[in-house]
A and B are shown apart, each in its own frame.
Chain A
Amino acid sequence: MMRIAILMGLLAAAPLAAQDVSLPHTLFTLPNGLTVIVHEDDSAPIAAVNVWYHVGSGYEEPGRTGFAHLFEHIMFEGSGNVPEGEFDRLLEGAGGVNNGSTSPDRTNYYEMVPANAVELALWLEADRMGNLLETMTQQKLDIQREVVKNERRQSYENRPYGMYFETVFAALYPQGHPYSWSTIGSMEDLSAASLDDVESFFRRYYSPNNAALVVAGDVDTEEIRRIAARFFGWIPRGDEVRKPDLPVPAIPETRYITLEDRVTLPQLNLAWRAEPFYAENDAALDALAQILSTGKNSRLFRRLIYDEQIAQDVLAFNNSQLLSGDFFIRITGREDLDLNRLETAVLEEIRRIAETPPAPAELERVINGIETNFVSSLERALGKADQLNQYYYYTGEPDFAAEDLARYRSLTPADVQAAARDYLLNESRIVISIVPQGRTELAAEGVGR
């Protein structure tokens, strides 16, 4: 389930580090508008190629939900000079791996190759950016449609609690808002996707001026500059794509929703509106999430799993995006537990932080962990490549590392207290109880308020 993978990735790799942390790079733009960012690192004879197209499910229209992700699949099926299947065969034969992912805001594609194969990876990216439609067929679309439907079955429908995100996004955002559906889309809309949709989506969004290419690893910047000009320079510029600029209304009122699932343990899920990436208070919400649920001493783990022993697992996370963010708490209860009891406890813990700032040591532990994680994330060429693209897309600056670090380091317990008060305690929320079939009496229904 890609959305989860992305959320977790952000948590684990939340950037931070020593004072002088940076991601040195060279940025240049081709005449057709393609942004190219190169980061040299010769610590291993490998290179990562990472392309972000600035389109995701947040650009979709009602009736075509899931199309950005379906399109991602089609991008691997060959292009003008790459017969079907050759994309993967060429890369594997060079000792490379590749994949892609789709979020509401962007779609990324990446290759990890031995350094001698970076030119091959760039050519494969160029050919599908420039020549995808030349060899597009109904059959390619139809097969990937079935694959994606199976991805939906495997990662959502057949997975315990798997329908949560689809349900919560529909409740968090107004009908018709592109954040109101999940990246996988609905079966009905996947069925409706046509070859015409493929063509118009490609022409509208997959232009060089709507993409950024990062090359990181054991490469020479000037050589990448030459290769990029030759491979990508001829691709025509497309119409400008504007990032969505939709209003994100507050959650109008607290709602309780109950889902029955084929599960043994009842699960309580709470969600609040948070902040966009790198906005004010976004870092405080990250820290709040960890103070609530990371480690045995975190507030919710300690109370629900350690002391009262009424929960099996607990997770709080702050999911920031382009237009907005959402703050999630998920707690799986022990068998037969009344979820009202969990909600009452969670709200009490939030109130405690909102009324009394966390101890300095609590915050310090969180910051220390974030710093180690940041250093650790610098070990991977692909991680750095994706980070450069992420910073560039959301802040306009590929190396935002020092600023990113600073926004965590400057946090005070009072900031965390304010985040708990202003975003959770005083705001409406969506409460979703997922209970065993026939056990709706376990669902939370608001007695905790």
Chain B
Amino acid sequence: MKHTIWFLLATALAAGCASTATVPAEPYPTAPPSLGPAPSFEMADPIERTLSNGLTVLYLSRGELPLVQAVLVTRAGAMDDPADLTGLAAFTADMLDEGAGGRDALELAAAIEQLGATLGVGAGWDASQISLQVLRDELPEALAIMADVVMRPDFPEAELTRVRDERLTELASARDDAATIAGNAFASLVYGSDHPYGRLSTQESARRFDRQTLRDFHSRYYRPGTSTLVLVGAIDSSMHPQVERIFGNWPATGSVTTSSVPAPPETASTRIFLVDKPGAAQSEIRIGHPGVARDTPDYYALQVLNTLLGGSFTSRLNQNLRETHGYTYGAGSGFGMRLGEGPFSASAAVVTAKTDSSVIEFFRELNRIRDEVVPADELERAKQYVALRLPQQMETTGQVAARLADLVTYDLPLDYYGDYVQRVMAVTAADVQRVARRYVRPGRSVVVVVGDRQQIEPGLRALPIGTVEIRDVEEFVR
């Protein structure tokens, strides 16, 4: 594969596919064909209904295939993990389909598979999601199973022990993977253990998960009043009475007192943390600091900024470290926008012998994006890239359902995408420089390098970038 795809929220629009008709007699063109106007793209707003217990239901009829994607999103995420129980939201979600509504784990799995359906469970920082993909004809039956999983999980003791052992084994083997170590070290060193974004999931915390802990977390956070069911595809709101029968008996238990994310610690200067991985063929590099929350008014400018810094193949970081120098298979950057101020990070896996040179190039680009106004053609390309990809990012029912679930999680209006393109296209070079200076801070960064210490330490110590501290793998994966 030519390149890995970088994480970046993108989007866009346009109208009327009228490419110029050509005739075979015309000669081969030596210049790129000019583009007609981009096609228009409109996404209908979902229809919103509310059940008497407070559950919001969104219906979006879409496409001609007999397929439905359902997502139940509830406001329970890793940010709500108690300090001594990191990983609880994710573990609770994982356990939902291990027995529910009178079926044990094997019966649940068999029932879903028999319908040709796929059921997924998981928790992110800000929300947990239970998702279902199923053919239209099997939807009512599959939705009833999904409701059991959401509302009536049993958390059986035997399954809990098994899944907990799997989690402990997974945590024990996390030390094998340099990228995992780097990710953990970066989060820990940027946010510290006093902040939820800096607390690591550990074997010690996983050992504390018991049935009562899970039941408490479930009853506290999985409530109809703070949940939304998203239905996309071969469906419309005429199915509402059926949905009401299936989800209407979820008892209303009022709203949750949700956690709020504290402000992240200040970083005063740049520090390099070297984690030894003897014999590693590459060094995993992470550079960054606390970033910005999803509700920032600078959202669109930041999307454009990140696209040209490290969010696309032609971005400065990828062009520099990969295409100019050949140090890596791919370099990039991203803003982890959450309810709180998630991290900004730039990252790459680079060949061991070029570790210090790579760090220099990272800092060259992180400084240049602040110091110089972005040229007009580069800015335009980044804006088009963010804006015009919306139709392909909304191609499948699963993609659309995920977008709607995100709107719910971040309390954004359901017609959010109506003016998305205009907002992206309104970003100016001055906006980009302003947000770069505010949200990209190379002089106050954490630099994590996971690699072969013997080979890379002298080079890192010689860099005029920051102090170098040696840390143990065991600090970050345990």
**Taking beta carbons and an 8 Å cutoff, which residues of A are in contact with B?**
2, 5, 18, 43-46, 72-73, 76, 80-82, 85, 88-90, 92-101, 112, 114-120, 123-124, 126, 130, 142-151, 153-155, 157-160, 218-219, 223, 226-227, 229-231, 233-234, 262-265, 295-297, 302, 305-306, 309, 312, 334-335, 361, 364-365, 368-369, 371-372, 375-376, 378-381
B391 touches A312 (CB 8 A): no
Which of B1, B5, B30, B314 touches A85 (beta carbons < 8 Å)? Answer: B314
**Given A264-B173, A368-B115 in contact, is the A146-B326 Cβ separation under 8 Å?**
yes
A153 touches B349 (CB 8 A): yes
A159 touches B29 (CB 8 A): no
A234–B118 Cα distance when bound, in Å, is 48
A362–B236 Cα distance when bound, in Å, is 33
Which of A265, A295, A334, A376 touches B109 (beta carbons < 8 Å)? Answer: A295
B169 touches A5 (CB 8 A): no
In the complex, whether B152 has a CB less than 8 A from a CB of chain A is no
A112 touches B392 (CB 8 A): yes
In the complex, whether B387 has a CB less than 8 A from a CB of chain A is yes
**Given A90-B32, A143-B323, A334-B169 in contact, is the A100-B384 Cβ separation under 8 Å?**
no
Task: Write out the residue numbers on chain A whose beta carbons fall within 8 Å of the beta carbon of B27.
Answer: 230
Which of A88, A116, A262, A297 touches B35 (beta carbons < 8 Å)? Answer: A116
User: Which of chain B's residues has its CB closest to A6's CB?
Assistant: B1
A150 touches B39 (CB 8 A): no
A70 to chain B, nearest CB (A): 11
B149 to chain A, nearest CB (A): 14
- Secondary structure of the B side of the interface? loop
A45 touches B40 (CB 8 A): yes
A102 to chain B, nearest CB (A): 8
In the complex, whether B322 has a CB less than 8 A from a CB of chain A is yes
- Residue among A112, A150, A223 with the highest chain B CB neighbour number at 10 A: A150
**Given A85-B314, A88-B313, A123-B33 in contact, is the A265-B169 Cβ separation under 8 Å?**
yes
B176 touches A262 (CB 8 A): yes
A378–B395 Cα distance when bound, in Å, is 11
B105 touches A296 (CB 8 A): yes
16 contacts between A and B (CB under 8 A): A43-B63, A45-B39, A46-B391, A92-B382, A95-B389, A99-B1, A99-B5, A100-B1, A119-B19, A120-B33, A126-B28, A150-B349, A230-B23, A369-B113, A371-B116, A379-B67
A95 touches B388 (CB 8 A): yes
Task: Write out the residue numbers on chain A whose beta carbons fall within 8 Å of the beta carbon of B327.
Answer: 146, 150
B67 touches A226 (CB 8 A): no
User: Which of chain B's residues has its CB closest to A94's CB?
Assistant: B35
A45 touches B391 (CB 8 A): yes
In the complex, whether B172 has a CB less than 8 A from a CB of chain A is yes
**Given A114-B38, A116-B19 in contact, is the A372-B282 Cβ separation under 8 Å?**
no
A219–B18 Cα distance when bound, in Å, is 10
B28 touches A234 (CB 8 A): yes
**Taking beta carbons and an 8 Å cutoff, which residues of B are in contact with A?**
1-3, 5, 12, 14-24, 26-33, 35-41, 63-67, 105-106, 109-110, 113-118, 133-135, 162, 165-166, 169-170, 172-173, 175-178, 279-282, 312-314, 319, 322-329, 349-351, 380-382, 384-385, 387-389, 391-392, 394-398
A379 touches B105 (CB 8 A): no
A302–B350 Cα distance when bound, in Å, is 40
Which of B32, B319, B326, B396 touches A380 (beta carbons < 8 Å)? Answer: B396
**Given A93-B380, A120-B32, A147-B329 in contact, is the A227-B14 Cβ separation under 8 Å?**
no
- Which 8 interchain pairs have the tightest Cβ spacing? A95-B388, A146-B326, A368-B116, A45-B39, A296-B109, A372-B116, A115-B17, A93-B381
Task: Write out the residue numbers on chain B whose beta carbons fall within 8 Å of the beta carbon of A381.
Answer: 395
**Given A223-B19, A295-B109 in contact, is the A119-B40 Cβ separation under 8 Å?**
no
A236 to chain B, nearest CB (A): 12
A363–B421 Cα distance when bound, in Å, is 47
Which of A92, A101, A218 touches B39 (beta carbons < 8 Å)? Answer: A218
A119–B18 Cα distance when bound, in Å, is 11
Task: Write out the residue numbers on chain B whose beta carbons fall within 8 Å of the beta carbon of A369.
Answer: 113, 116, 118
Task: Write out the residue numbers on chain B whose beta carbons fall within 8 Å of the beta carbon of A146.
Answer: 325-327, 351
Task: Write out the residue numbers on chain B whose beta carbons fall within 8 Å of the beta carbon of A153.
Answer: 281-282, 329, 349, 351
Task: Write out the residue numbers on chain A whose beta carbons fall within 8 Å of the beta carbon of B39.
Answer: 45, 114-116, 218
A119–B31 Cα distance when bound, in Å, is 12
A95 touches B169 (CB 8 A): no
A229 touches B24 (CB 8 A): yes
